[in-house]
Amino acid sequence: MSVQMNVADRRRAAGFTLIEVLAALVIVALGMLGVIEAVTQSARNGTYMREKTLAHWIAMNVITERRLQATAPEVGETSDDVDFAGERWHWTMRVTQTQVESLVRMDVSVRAADAAQNTSLTTVTGFYGRAIGAAGGSSLPWGGPQGAGGSQESDGESTGAPQQPPAQPAPQPQPQPQPTDDEE
């Protein structure tokens, strides 16, 4: 009898039971679900970053096109659709006046054409300015007649350059005494 028990014990010890195999399969399945989820998330992130980059390029193109025009864009909102990188995109530009009269602000939002209207992948801000002075660098009176760019003279005329204090004469060098033979 002891010989038969030893044979039965050996058979049990030599293989896995059905419960052990099922437990191992559950553990492997849970591990594979984690790996699959990580790969899926990585693919989603790559797709999102691609779309966000393309939307940013479209917004920058719209701003650059407006900056290259001879006249500033009208204050208000405009929008259009564009085909870019094999996809259809919708952009909206809001132009607002800034506190500086010669400068307008352009906010361009871009989304996929089939996305909801209140969503946006990116918003890029740019400015369009008109020159208020001649090319070549003449100074501009930013602070008015007595502001930082100009000065008031005693006769009432304003000049474009700040007044310079009167020049001081350069100090004269003092003669150095020559050493004598005893000091050397």
Beta carbons within 8 Å of 97's beta carbon, 6+ residues apart: 75, 104, 105
User: Which range of residues forms the domain containing residue 92?
Assistant: 1-130
Token duo for residue 37: 């989820």
State how many domains the chain has. Answer: 1
Q: What is the pLDDT of residues 7-66, one digit of tens each?
A: 666 665 667 889 999 999 999 999 999 999 999 999 999 999 999 999 999 999 999 999
* Averaged confidence pLDDT in the chain: 80
Token duo for residue 54: 């393309």
The answer to whether residue 162 sits within a structural domain is no
Mean pLDDT of 106-122: 94
The answer to whether residue 142 sits within a structural domain is no
Q: Kindly report the pTM of this predicted structure.
A: 0.58
CA distance 61 to 134: 28
Q: What is the CATH number of the domain that holds 105?
A: 3.30.1300.30
H helix or E strand, kind and range, residue 176: none
> Cβ distance 93 to 65 under 8 Å?
no
